């Protein structure tokens, strides 16, 4: 039976017109170039997880249960669908709605991190997950709200220059670092600290205060080395060799095994010995099966996303937008290149996934949500002329 179209002037007709209008506005205002690049990375990730899934499935199979070779690929596709939904929903938010949502999720995940050392689930000697029927890693979803929360606080100075915004952010960062190291999670601590540094620099911090923060950071690294056994072992193994270093060395040899053009899909052999072929060392799997040229293309795509964000902010006059978008870019780029450097044996192993490419549950959905919020806060009416943003207008923060 044929379906009748809504009559002109009816509620259904007006709803369809409004929906098409909202979609048209969304398409005009978002950064379509960044969206396309993100989708390209996710497509590469689907192929890469399919390539790495057999190695991880065989390693995790037991005498009683044998996992299908594409076990992690099928799971990854489900998480990608959920992540795409989260990204498109977040990108449809107005800038004000995205700011409110980011503040709420940032505060909520900080509260969840307080609970992790108390009721969290321990895996491989670290408590990083909360289990309420499903597993939740609060540090992953904190990435969705952390840049927005810091940018919101730093932007208070635009209304009242006397508010000590840097001091407030520093206390918040110290509290976050303490919570993360209780798990312990040194990798996330370094990633959030890097994003914090980028935001503080962009906010116009005085050079003397910057030197003080660097000193505190170095002191923190020294304390970590003498109090955090896992972190000290990874640094020692990276510098002097050892079991963890052997894993990184294996990842590098796997990466180079395919040469420039790779051995072909599912033709890799060294990947079968990698401990986390579908997550931490997926870049090496790509290198073995698709070649160094494919790896170079991936690096170029990551750099292109960062370049698009920077160019989007060149003529932005809103301080909050500049800071929040820069924070998201710093987190995204920092995580990507830490993972790549680990695979190249140029950085100690951190257990950090390759954004939008590695297999992941919380990490995939959280990263898609981050990109959706980034697209939302950088939405712009293309027909409105804007004055260029200048950091000189900010002055030194208090």
pLDDT above 80: residue 147: yes
Collapsed DSSP state (helix, strand, coil) of residue 122: strand
Identify the residue with better confidence: 80 or 117. 80
Identify the residue with better confidence: 210 or 92. 92
Whole-structure pTM value: 0.84
CB 332, CB 195: distance < 8 Å: no
Q: Is 197 left (phi over 0), alpha (psi -120 to 50) or beta?
A: alpha
pLDDT of residue 302: 96
d(CA 138, CA 109): 5
**How many Cβ atoms sit within 10 Å of the Cβ of residue 370?**
28
pLDDT above 70: residue 303: yes
pLDDT of residue 75: 93
pLDDT of residue 397: 44
Q: What angle do CA 321, 96, 150 make, to 5 degrees?
A: 50
CB 292, CB 258: distance < 8 Å: yes
pLDDT band at 120 (very low <50, low <70, confident <90, very high): confident
Structure tokens, 377? 């806060």
C-alpha separations of 304 from 33, 212, 281, 361 in Å: 9, 33, 22, 25
Q: For 134-150, what is the mean pLDDT? A: 89
pLDDT above 90: residue 293: yes
Collect all residues with Cβ–Cβ distance below 8 Å to 81 and sequence separation of at least 6. none
pLDDT above 80: residue 337: yes
d(CA 202, CA 42): 30
Closest CA to 47 of 27, 22, 72: 72
pLDDT of residue 391: 47
Q: For 168-181, what is the mean pLDDT? A: 88
pLDDT band at 1 (very low <50, low <70, confident <90, very high): very low
**How many Cβ atoms sit within 10 Å of the Cβ of residue 278?**
30
pLDDT above 60: residue 386: no
C-alpha torsion sign, points 187, 193, 196, 201: negative
pLDDT above 80: residue 192: yes
pLDDT of residue 27: 84
pLDDT above 60: residue 268: yes
Please list, residue by residue across 302-319, b when 16 or more beta carbons sit within 10 angstroms of its beta carbon and e when fewer do. beebbebbeebbeebebb
Share of the chain above pLDDT 70, in %: 79
CB 238, CB 248: distance < 8 Å: yes
pLDDT of residue 126: 67
Q: For 24-36, what is the mean pLDDT? A: 88
Identify the residue with better confidence: 26 or 239. 26
pLDDT of residue 333: 94
CB 148, CB 98: distance < 8 Å: yes
Determine the length of the chain: 398
pLDDT band at 12 (very low <50, low <70, confident <90, very high): low
pLDDT of residue 299: 95
d(CA 5, CA 16): 11
Which stretches within the chain are classed as H helix?
Answer: 11-29, 32-60, 71-91, 95-119, 138-154, 165-181, 186-202, 207-227, 229-240, 243-257, 282-313, 319-343, 362-377
Q: For 97-110, what is the mean pLDDT? A: 93
Q: For 158-175, what is the mean pLDDT? A: 85
Mean pLDDT of the chain: 82
pLDDT of residue 8: 58
pLDDT above 70: residue 67: yes
Residues 240-249: pLDDT tens digits? Answer: 555 545 677 7
Q: For 322-340, what is the mean pLDDT? A: 93
Among 253-257, 262-266, 380-384, the minimum mean pLDDT is found in 380-384
Identify the residue with better confidence: 120 or 370. 370
Share of the chain above pLDDT 90, in %: 36
Collapsed DSSP state (helix, strand, coil) of residue 59: helix
d(CA 98, CA 133): 28
> Would you list the DSSP string of 378-393?
T---TTS--PPP-GGG
Distance, first Cα to last Cα, the chain? 69
Q: For 70-86, what is the mean pLDDT? A: 93
Identify the residue with better confidence: 24 or 209. 24
């Amino acid at each position: 039976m044929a379906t009748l179209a809504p009559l002109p002037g009816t509620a259904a007709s007006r709803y369809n017109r409004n929906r098409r209008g909202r979609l048209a506005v969304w398409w005009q205002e978002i950064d379509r170039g960044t969206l396309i690049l993100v989708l390209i990375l996710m497509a590469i990730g689907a192929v890469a997880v399919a390539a790495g899934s057999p190695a991880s499935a065989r390693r995790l199979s037991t005498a009683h249960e044998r996992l299908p070779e594409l076990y992690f690929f099928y799971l990854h596709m489900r998480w990608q669908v959920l992540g795409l939904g989260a990204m498109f929903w977040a990108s449809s938010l107005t800038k004000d709605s995205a700011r409110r949502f980011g503040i709420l999720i940032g505060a909520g995940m900080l509260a969840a991190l307080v609970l992790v050392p108390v009721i969290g689930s321990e895996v491989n000697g670290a408590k990083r997950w909360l289990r309420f029927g499903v597993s939740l890693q609060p540090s992953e979803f904190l990435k969705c709200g952390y840049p927005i929360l810091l940018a919101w606080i730093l932007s208070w100075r635009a209304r009242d220059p006397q508010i000590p915004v840097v001091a407030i952010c520093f206390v918040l960062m110290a509290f976050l670092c303490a919570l993360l190291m209780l798990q312990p999670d040194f990798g996330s601590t370094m990633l959030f600290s890097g994003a914090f540094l980028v935001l503080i620099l962009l906010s116009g911090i005085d050079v003397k205060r910057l030197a003080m923060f660097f000193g505190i950071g170095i002191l923190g690294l020294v304390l970590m080395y003498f109090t955090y056994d896992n972190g000290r072992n990874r640094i020692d193994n990276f510098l002097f060799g050892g079991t963890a270093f052997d894993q990184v060395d294996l990842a590098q040899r796997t990466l180079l095994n395919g040469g420039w053009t790779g051995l072909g899909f599912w033709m890799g052999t060294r990947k079968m010995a990698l401990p986390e072929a579908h997550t931490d060392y997926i870049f090496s799997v790509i290198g073995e099966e698709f070649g160094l040229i494919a790896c170079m293309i991936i690096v170029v795509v990551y750099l292109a996303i960062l370049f698009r964000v920077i160019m989007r902010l060149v003529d932005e006059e809103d301080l909050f937008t500049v800071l929040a978008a820069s924070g998201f870019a710093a987190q995204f780029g920092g995580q990507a290149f830490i993972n790549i450097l680990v695979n190249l044996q140029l950085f100690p192993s951190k257990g950090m996934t390759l954004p939008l490419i590695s297999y992941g549950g919380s990490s995939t959905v959280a990263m898609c949500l981050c990109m959706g919020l980034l697209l939302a806060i950088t939405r712009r009416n293309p027909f409105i002329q804007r004055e260029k943003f200048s950091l000189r207008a900010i002055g030194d923060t208090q």
